[in-house]
Every structure is written in structure tokens, then in C-alpha cells.
Structure 1
């Protein structure tokens, strides 16, 4: 089977079909020989920072000499990004082989898009004989497909704020309960959650006789390469996980300082007509993430306002996201992400109009068109592309095809 055909099959499973419950994936993984039980697992849930924490933990484990599988979502430019071993993405050949061999069985088990990819990750990690697997939940935790792992070595809950409220609940306590569903009996818990969410997590951890650890406070001897105060907290969370696992401090330091992660305050510099253009890619897609981005931009740019290319999904809390970012925006080009859930440009432009002059608000036919417009027509030299990881993905693809428009 060709890789293109494999992707077509995976896409046919409908990425946004939410059918919660562990029955389907449990049965399918049993059919595969229970690959999820083959390695030690670090399981990571939370509203924001899951991917970054996973990246930090994976880098630390690799620094300690462990062969490490990483499973994250969503991907930015390629589905293969979701499944990695020691920093290398699963190959097109392996994706094709899995789909070719197991698509009929997967269809009979009625797997969803996320369940199928999760099963492929477990299958691939077992095939690669990993020592540790670091898993990011897709949505929530309690009924997420990754929660099929019976006994992780550490359960991690990064933080809890409002997102996916129609599915997880409209209160912090309800959302925290769903995230804390990954906690297993006698398994250590690491969290950076606060307030009501922390109270819920502590109660569930106590009921299951779990030791609970807070995120570590980093000293000045550790350089965190990912920008923003929130990344200091994410790194501290990973440090606490590493200490629970008994990793040496020098290996922890090396792992933190060598981490790389695309799409999280990811600064790229390009040349246009002899001038540097700095483009910041960040997938801030909910109110808490947009607050963190605003603070990081203020620090990084020393208060300067810049041009934004903005696209968001209609089912997100986009009014709060726009409000949180508005004091960092000098002008904005709004575009609808290439996604069925993308919010219409007109709707988002109206939101920005509450905070800035309408003559500073533009629209683009696509994210790529919006980025080109910002650089070529508006002469922007500092740009932030944000609102959704789908927006970030399209922006990065645009950079790959730069020769077509420069």
C-alpha cells in the first residue's frame, strides 16, 4: 500500500468523531497482542502544556540513555509527527504497513481516527523495543484512548483550565475530574495544577493511595530553550517526573536544555527583500494558552506590538482568546483555517474591532494568503501566527513553499 492511500484510509475515520469509551481500543489492542503493556509509560494529561511537557520528559529520558517513544497530538505538518522514537518520526513505510495489515480489523472494531493512530503508536513502540513511552492524552483523560495503559510509572496532569467544555464539562472541577481519570492506584502523580483543580486531583490521588508531587522550581543553572514563563513551569513539571523516575540531575539538565518543539513560541527568521522577517508560530487555542502567549510576547518583544495572522476554530472560546491577545496586536490579518470547524473571517474581524481600529484589521483567503499579505502588502517584519495548531500548520507549510511567493 502506498503512503498516500494509507493516509486516505486514516482520514476516512473522521478526525473529529468523538466516541468515548475504552472498549473498542481495548479489544483491538488485545487483537494486536497488547503492545501497550510492553514498555514503561509516562502518561500526560492537562489543558495546556501537555505536548511541551512530553517533549521535555522525552528529551530527559533520551539524555539518560533510554530508548523513548513519544506520542503527541495534534500534528502540525505531518501525521508522522505524532509517533516518534528517539526523535525520529515513524516512517511512511511503517504507517503504510500498519494500515495495510490492520485496516480490515480496525474497521470491524469500529475504531475512531484517534483510536487507530493510538493503536499504531503502541504497535510501533513495541516493534522498536522502547524502554519508555511518553503519551499525551488526546482529549480529557478518563475515557481517552491513551488511558488503556493499566499501570503507568507516573501520571502527569499539567494544569486545568477551560477548553472542550461541551465534552468535559463547564466547570473547573468537572474538567479536573476528567483529567484526573488517568490516575491509577499507587502510581505517583505530578501536577502543576492549582486551586479547585488541584483539590480535585489531590482527593482522587488520596483515594487511590498515590503520592503527589508539584512541579519543581528551577534554579538559574538550567537554561530552558522554549520561551515564556509557562515553559518554565512545564520544564519544572518534567523535572519532577524525572526525579520520581530516579534520573540523575546532570541528565535532567541536559535533557531540558536540548529540547526542541515546533509550534510553541517557535521563532523563524526569513529574508524578504534584504530584510529579516521574524515569524513567531504558536498554537494558542484557548484562553489560558492565549494569556501565556501574550505574556511571552510582551517579554520577548519588550512591549512592542506586532502584526498577527490569526485563525481559530469556531467551537473555541475565541472571544476570550482575541481579548487576551489584543494588547499585543498592532494590526491583524484574519484567515479561516482549512478545517470544517474554522471560524469565519467576518466573525473574528468583528471581535478584533472591539479592541482596535477597523483600518488595522484585514482578512486573507487562507492562512498562507494572510501571511504573504502581511509580509508583502503590509510590510510587516515581526509577525505572530496563532489561534490554532491548524493555523500554525498552514503557516509553516507556506514557509516551506517560500520560493513560490518571494
Structure 2
């Protein structure tokens, strides 16, 4: 299938629109769609919205990317992961309908997801943008019931533009005429672009700091909008940045008419792997039983800042990073906020990933921002070295979703 189009990413709508037409336009037969874009937090916000909807008994289709351990994680049918057999059959159907024409991997899998969603009864469809928004393959739904834009920051400049307003413009491309848009915290120059597009399309804006607010007060999550105040538990997903993701999820649920029970379930029942996930079982844990082992897939400067904020609020403990990154990322920008919180960084190359940054280059970037760093042959080798030096350390495996996915596969 990958031979049909050599580029992994090539943002345009023509190919996916042609294939959807050949398939009978399944995107027009989806259960009501909630479309989510953003640079950081869209996966966690997606997970919280789904938890809130499902707590009220709704059946929810969900499409996310990338996957971590197995490809079929990307597609949930009415709450259940699609079976590998069903996914294979759908992909075969899409390949046949596409014929010899060019298509990217993401485009054809998005079409397969839409086919699945159109054929299985559900109450809602949650779509997470793959990259950007305006030209993303998911942006073929003309009439979603709600759009959501989580915080926008600099990332994927080679595809989305070099400035925050340019990137925000791509994300704002999911806003549709007269459809409400929930907007998480934004930099002013990004918010200006989002608001301008919403105004042009008559889309009601439900924005953090304007139509709703969220904060942590005395160990509780306090959310407020024009419909009143909610006093809820803190999110079960760790990290202070999850307060804002929870706020966007609650704003979305309230816009859909959901009650306080749904909002509470959103913050207490969501699960999203590799976002400050504590690893509690598997070979890595068994090899280092006294280590506090964490996994995070953040990979841009905003992601690094979020992890740093989380580490700063944890109880004091010697902290080591096992870090592998792609050569397309702002590596120093990611590492700089982490420097004050880290004893040592152990740099690894990402196994099986052609765009991995070599461990030596990751090590050099860490040293440049003031982090003591060494290289390691693998995650397991790095962990063994850490255990030898400090058997009770806190260890965070970080820097890339591709590294995180490999860890989850190997760790069971």
C-alpha cells in the first residue's frame, strides 16, 4: 500500500475526496461528529470527552493517531477497538476502490475508519486531526456538531508554517459555518487567528478565559461558565496541564448538553497512554523494582514545558531521563525547560525509526542546555545503568511517541 504514494505526509484534500466518492461518501453517513485539532493536548482532551460521553451511556466511535503499540488502536467502534480482521477487510476494500491512484497511508486509513463508522451504529464520532487541520484527511466532514482546538504552539513547521499565526490558521481550518468551537488556552496571536475565522463563519466561540474558566483550588478542579460552577476531582491523567485539557473537555460536554456526572467521568475515567503514564508492570518494571518509572510521548517545546511542570510538582527524587527524539524536532527547545529537574539524561536512538536523531546528537543537545548526558545502546541498557547508580531513582522515558510505542510493545 505504501508504494501508492512515496510521501508519508503530503497535505492536500483531493486524493481523500476522490477515494471517499468511490466508496459512496461514508463521511456523510457518520454519527454526529466532534472534530478536535491542536498542537498539544488533543489526545488527552479527546480521551476525556469520550469518557464523559460513554459514562452517560452513549456509544462513541473514535479515531486517533498515531497509534502506539498496535495500529488498530486508532479506530474504536462504538467503544471497542476494531478487530484486526475487520480492519484488514476495510483496508482491502479501500485499496480496491482506490485502484492505481496515488494515496497516502494516513488518507487510506482515514477512509477505512469512515467506512467502519458509517456502518456501525453509534451516538457520536470523535475525530482527532492527524496533522494541522485545514488540509488534514479528517477535515472532509462538512457539518460536525462541535469543533475543539486545544493549545496551539510551534511544531511541524515544514508542513504548517514557521509562525504561530500560520500554524493557528491551519488548526482553525476545522472551524465550520455556524458550528460552535471550543478553544483551549492560546497565545494571543494564535487566538486572534482562530477568532477571526470563527467570526467569518458565524461559529460561536467558547474560549478559555472568556466563555469558560478552569483552575485547581485546594486539590479540586473548579470549572465555571455561564451555566454555573462545577467543583470536581482533579483529572486522573497526571500533570498540571491536564487541568486545561479537562476544561476544554468539560466545555465540549456542556456544549453538547451533558450533565455534571458526565463532566466528572471525563476527569476521573479517562485513559490516554504515554502521557505521563506510570508504568507498573512488565519486564522494565521487573528489572528495576524500586525505580519509579514513567513514560511520556511529548516531543516539542510545549510538551517539554508540560513535563517539566509535572516534574516540578512531584515529591523530590533523583530524576533521570531516557530520551530518544526524531531529527525533525526542536530538540533543544524540548529539553531546555527540563534541565532544572534532571540529574542525568541517557540518550538513545529510536529502534526501527529512520528519522531518529542519533543518540550522540541527542546527548550533545542535552549538554548544550545544561543537562549532564550520556549515550546508551537501548532503553533497557540505560535503565540498567541508572539502577546501578541510583536504584531508587525516578526515571522518565521521553522524547517521542515512536519511542513510547516501542516501549509499550516491548513492555507488554
Q: TM-score, with normalisation over the residues of structure 1?
A: 0.90
Report the Cα distance in structure 2 between the residues aligned to 1:276 and 1:13, rounded to whole angstroms. 49
Report the Cα distance in structure 2 between the residues aligned to 1:333 and 1:261, rounded to whole angstroms. 25
Cα gap change, 1:73/1:19 in structure 2, threshold over 3 Å: closer, same or farther?
same
Counterpart in the other structure of 2:406:
394
Which ranges of structure 2 fall in alignment gaps of 5 or more residues?
Answer: 215-220, 223-230
Counterpart in the other structure of 1:5:
none
Counterpart in the other structure of 2:334:
321
1:31 equivalent to 2:22? Answer yes
Counterpart in the other structure of 1:276:
290
- What are the within-5 Å matches in structure 2 for residues 157-176 of structure 1? 157-176=149-168
Cα gap change, 1:58/1:14 in structure 2, threshold over 3 Å: closer, same or farther?
farther
Post-superposition, which runs of at least 4 consecutive aligned residues in structure 1 deviate over 6 A? none
**Partner residue of 2:183 out of 171, 183, 191:** 191
Cα gap change, 1:181/1:273 in structure 2, threshold over 3 Å: closer, same or farther?
closer
Cα gap change, 1:48/1:171 in structure 2, threshold over 3 Å: closer, same or farther?
same
1:293 equivalent to 2:307? Answer yes
Counterpart in the other structure of 1:336:
349
Report the Cα distance in structure 2 between the residues aligned to 1:211 and 1:28, rounded to whole angstroms. 32
Which ranges of structure 1 fall in alignment gaps of 5 or more residues?
Answer: 1-8, 401-406
**Partner residue of 1:106 out of 98, 106, 117:** 98
Report the Cα distance in structure 1 between the residues aligned to 2:26 and 2:376, rounded to whole angstroms. 45
Instruction: Give the CA deviation at 1:297.
Output: 1.3
Instruction: Give the CA deviation at 1:104.
Output: 2.9
**Partner residue of 1:349 out of 346, 363, 388:** 363
**Partner residue of 1:201 out of 188, 194, 210:** 194
**Partner residue of 2:262 out of 231, 237, 251:** 251
1:154 equivalent to 2:140? Answer no
Instruction: Give the CA deviation at 1:364.
Output: 2.1
Q: Which has the higher helix share?
A: 1
Cα gap change, 1:13/1:291 in structure 2, threshold over 3 Å: closer, same or farther?
farther
Instruction: Give the CA deviation at 1:377.
Output: 6.8
Cα gap change, 1:330/1:23 in structure 2, threshold over 3 Å: closer, same or farther?
same
Instruction: Give the CA deviation at 1:328.
Output: 1.7
- Contact 1:371–1:395 at 8 Å: present in 2 too? no
- Contact 2:290–2:392 at 8 Å: present in 1 too? no
Report the Cα distance in structure 2 between the residues aligned to 1:298 and 1:351, rounded to whole angstroms. 22
Counterpart in the other structure of 1:4:
none
Greater shift after overlay, 327-336 or 213-222?
Answer: 213-222
Counterpart in the other structure of 1:3:
none
Instruction: Give the CA deviation at 1:30.
Output: 1.7
Instruction: Give the CA deviation at 1:125.
Output: 1.3
Q: Deviations over 1:197-255 (max 9, x none)?
A: 11111111001001100244242423310111211100100111111111122222123
Instruction: Give the CA deviation at 1:303.
Output: 4.4
Instruction: Give the CA deviation at 1:103.
Output: 1.6
Instruction: Give the CA deviation at 1:163.
Output: 0.2
- Contact 1:368–1:398 at 8 Å: present in 2 too? no
1:116 equivalent to 2:108? Answer yes
**C-alpha RMSD of the superposition:** 2.0
- Contact 1:70–1:133 at 8 Å: present in 2 too? yes
Report the Cα distance in structure 2 between the residues aligned to 1:93 and 1:243, rounded to whole angstroms. 37
Cα gap change, 1:371/1:85 in structure 2, threshold over 3 Å: closer, same or farther?
farther
Equivalent residue pairs, number: 388
Report the Cα distance in structure 2 between the residues aligned to 1:16 and 1:320, rounded to whole angstroms. 27
Instruction: Give the CA deviation at 1:87.
Output: 3.8
**Which secondary structure state, in structure 2, belongs to the residue aligned with residue 108 of structure 1?**
coil
Report the Cα distance in structure 1 between the residues aligned to 2:116 and 2:63, rounded to whole angstroms. 11
Cα gap change, 1:104/1:274 in structure 2, threshold over 3 Å: closer, same or farther?
closer
Counterpart in the other structure of 1:238:
249
